[in-house]
Amino acid sequence: MAGAAAATGGMLLGISLQAKTPKDTSMSIATLRKACKGRIVAVGEPDFKKAVYGGLWNKRIPDRAPDVVVRVADEQDVIAAVRFARENRMKVVVRGGGHNWCQPTLRNGGVLIDLTDLNKVVSIDVEGRKAVVQPIISNREAQKILNAKGLAFPSGHCPQVKLSGYLLGGGMAWNPGIWGSGAESVEAVELVTAQGELITASEKENPDYFWAARGSGSGFFGVVTRYHLKLYPLPKAIHGITYYYSLDDAGAVGTWLGERAAKLSPSIELSLFLLEAPPELKKKAASNGGKICMVTGAAFADTPEEAKASLQPLESCPIKCLSGSFATPLVFEQLFDASGVLWPEGVRARVEATFSDSSPGEMVKAIRAHMTKAPSPTTVVLFTIFTGPNVPPPLPNAAYSMSAKVYGGPWTMWWEERGDQRNTDWHQECATLLRPFNVGYYIGESDTVGRPSNAVGAFSAQNWHRLADLRDKHDPEGVFFGFFDGLSGTP
């Protein structure tokens, strides 16, 4: 069976273990309860729905559910939960922070291992610039603790997202031109295998797991309980620019930024947004459905002079902006606040974030008219344009395989269930318009549930096949749900 599945790349679909009914497992659940310090909630019990759906970021929640949720208190609980699943021929899915947009932590049946309480910073070595953390540390918490010690880590952009799945998927980080992706700064992981063993994986020790843990996202075949991180000195002068342009000019601005990007310092994180105009520019945006183009740049430097000098070329854009601010001093807290406003809590969402080597101008032109019809004012289209002479190369020794000049797409967000259809239609059309420009997808921010080919497209062909082979080798019985199985029901 394994051979046939591997031949079609089918191990990534996962082997359907014959799950017993909750009734069959009730004795074992009692045993599991005795073995675990954490909380166990089985289907039919009070609070089951809260345990399954309560912590999810995207409020567009499908009705898939596990048979039992094990909210683990420590590594020993993770081991007990995996062994319980094996003994009962049930499959396992892991819940990190529950922030993945397309809800891969919801599968039909099996055991959901919820890591919510693995939320400690284990150690920080200031001199050696290293830290060991449990997975459920948020981007904001990580930077706050490290920045206070003069250190920093390439965390993600939004304050509330947890390192857990962010690092596992690759990690589109702050300051990517200098620090690279989040996964690039993972030096080792501790994990529980499909056999229920706690192991450490690094370049030298259990290297297959280390390779997979850096980028396989929801295709990983283990439970990561600790990340060993490489840290960096905190840049002493972070400065930001913000310019607003008419949506009519967004294509030309995108073209100019695309041409400039290679000559800019890699220490600048450059982004072009299409989004709802701020109140003071509402009138000027009226003819474009209230939408506007915003360009932001953050320079991560050591002196204000260095930051200003690196941002200076962005002042010379020949297209006239509607308003702007140059070289505002910032700290990480403010960067998180700004991202938090754009990606608020409590929304319903669809996302398709992709990589492209095309001009951001061409991509903007393809969707400019469509943007004016976005039904929700919360929706954002973002293109991050990598700066510096070289596009960040693919990460060596990692499943993460993407590398391109531009990263982005639509983050379609709305508030009410009755808006689902209209926003979904708008989102799908936007994604379709951008598809001709795509060279790949990001496993952490695209819909791998509704559009499984996005998962395949997040990896080079070589890495996709290697991941399938490693899954065959290390999880031959398919204890962990693969990318695609257990997902029938509402996408």
Ligand X SMILES: Cc1cc2nc3c(=O)[nH]c(=O)nc-3n(C[C@H](O)[C@H](O)[C@H](O)COP(=O)(O)OP(=O)(O)OC[C@H]3O[C@@H](n4cnc5c(N)ncnc54)[C@H](O)[C@@H]3O)c2cc1C
343 binds ligand X (CB under 6 A): yes
Q: Contact with ligand X (CB under 6 A): which of 88, 105, 288, 463?
A: 105
Question: Residue 105 or residue 310: which is nearer to ligand X going by CB?
Answer: 105
- Asked if 166 is part of the footprint of ligand X (rule: CB under 6 A), the reply reads yes
The verdict on 94 binding ligand X (CB under 6 A) reads yes
Applying CB under 6 A, which of residues 40, 152, 172, 257 lies at the interface with ligand X?
172
11, 93, 133, 406: residue in contact with ligand X (rule CB under 6 A)? 93
Spatial separation of the C-alpha atoms in residues 102 and 109, rounded to whole Å: 18
- Residue 25 dihedral angles phi and psi, to the nearest 5°: -95, 0
Segment contacting ligand X (CB under 6 A): 25-33, 96-104, 146-154, 414-422?
Answer: 96-104
Name the residue nearer to ligand X (CB basis): 58 or 359: 58
Q: Is 444 in the site for ligand X (CB under 6 A)?
A: yes
C-beta separation of 149 from 329 below 8 A: no
Q: Which of 100, 206, 242, 423 binds ligand X (CB under 6 A)?
A: 100
The residue among 277 and 455 lying less far from ligand X, judged by its C-beta, is: 455
Binder among 14, 38, 66, 97 for ligand X (CB under 6 A): 97
Within a 10 A sphere around the Cβ of 216, how many other Cβ atoms?
31
Of 217 and 290, nearer to ligand X (C-beta) is 217
Q: Across 186-236, where does the E strand assignment appear?
A: 186-192, 198-202, 223-230, 232-233
Residue 98 interacts with ligand X (CB under 6 A)? yes
Token digits for 356? 């492209």
For the CA atoms of 413, 489, 434, 426, what is the dihedral angle to 10 degrees? -50
User: Which of 71, 140, 162, 226 is in the footprint of ligand X by CB under 6 A?
Assistant: 162
In the bound complex, what is the minimum distance in angstroms from residue 71's beta carbon to ligand X? 13
Evaluate whether 237 touches 304 at the Cβ level (below 8 Å).
yes
Strand partners, 383: 272, 408
Task: Give residues 215-234 in contact with ligand X (rule: CB under 6 A).
Answer: 217-218, 220, 223-224
DSSP label at 395? P
- Determine, following the binding rule CB under 6 A, whether residue 156 of this chain makes contact with ligand X: yes
Whether 196 and 83 have beta carbons less than 8 Å apart is answered as yes
Per CB under 6 A, does 66 bind ligand X? Answer: no
Only segment of 24-32, 92-100, 287-295, 449-457 that touches ligand X (CB under 6 A) = 92-100
Which run of H or E residues covers position 30?
A: helix 22-35
C-alpha to C-alpha distance for 149 and 41, rounded to whole angstroms: 40
- Least distance (Å) from ligand X to the CB of residue 3? 26
Contact 81, 115 (CB under 8 A): no
Residue 296 carries which side chain, given as an amino acid letter? T
Q: Determine how β-strand 111-114 pairs with β-strand 68-71.
A: parallel
Q: Determine the interface stretch with ligand X among 5-13, 98-106, 239-247, 460-468 (rule: CB under 6 A).
A: 98-106
Report d(CA 157, CA 446) in Å as an integer: 16
Q: Which of 29, 70, 115, 470 binds ligand X (CB under 6 A)?
A: 115
**The binder of ligand X chosen from 184, 269, 306, 445 (CB under 6 A):** 445
What is the C-alpha to C-alpha distance for residues 58 and 472, in angstroms, rounded to an integer? 32
Q: Which is nearer to ligand X, 97 or 109 (CB)?
A: 97
- 106 binding ligand X? (CB under 6 A): no
Chosen residue from 60, 64, 91, 95 binding ligand X by CB under 6 A: 95
464 binds ligand X (CB under 6 A): no
According to the binding rule CB under 6 A, does residue 410 interact with ligand X? no
- Name the 3-class secondary structure at 307: helix
Please report whether residue 158 would count as binding ligand X according to CB under 6 A: yes
In whole angstroms, the minimum distance from the beta carbon of 380 to ligand X comes to: 11
Candidates 20-28, 97-105, 302-310, 467-475 — which segment interacts with ligand X by CB under 6 A? Answer: 97-105
Near ligand X by CB under 6 A, which window of 23-31, 64-72, 155-163, 274-282? Answer: 155-163
d(C-alpha 211, C-alpha 467), whole Å: 9
Cβ-defined contacts of 420-427 (< 8 Å, 24+):
420/60, 420/348, 422/375, 423/348, 423/350, 423/375, 423/376, 423/379, 424/350, 426/370, 426/373, 426/374, 426/375, 426/379, 427/350, 427/352
Q: Count other C-beta atoms under 10 Å from residue 260's C-beta.
A: 16
| Token duo for residue 261 | 């990007």
Identity (one letter) of the amino acid at 284?
K
Minimum CB separation of residue 402 from ligand X in Å reads 11
Contact footprint for ligand X (CB under 6 A): 57, 93-101, 104-105, 115, 135, 156-158, 161-162, 164-166, 168-169, 171-172, 217-218, 220, 223-224, 343, 444-445
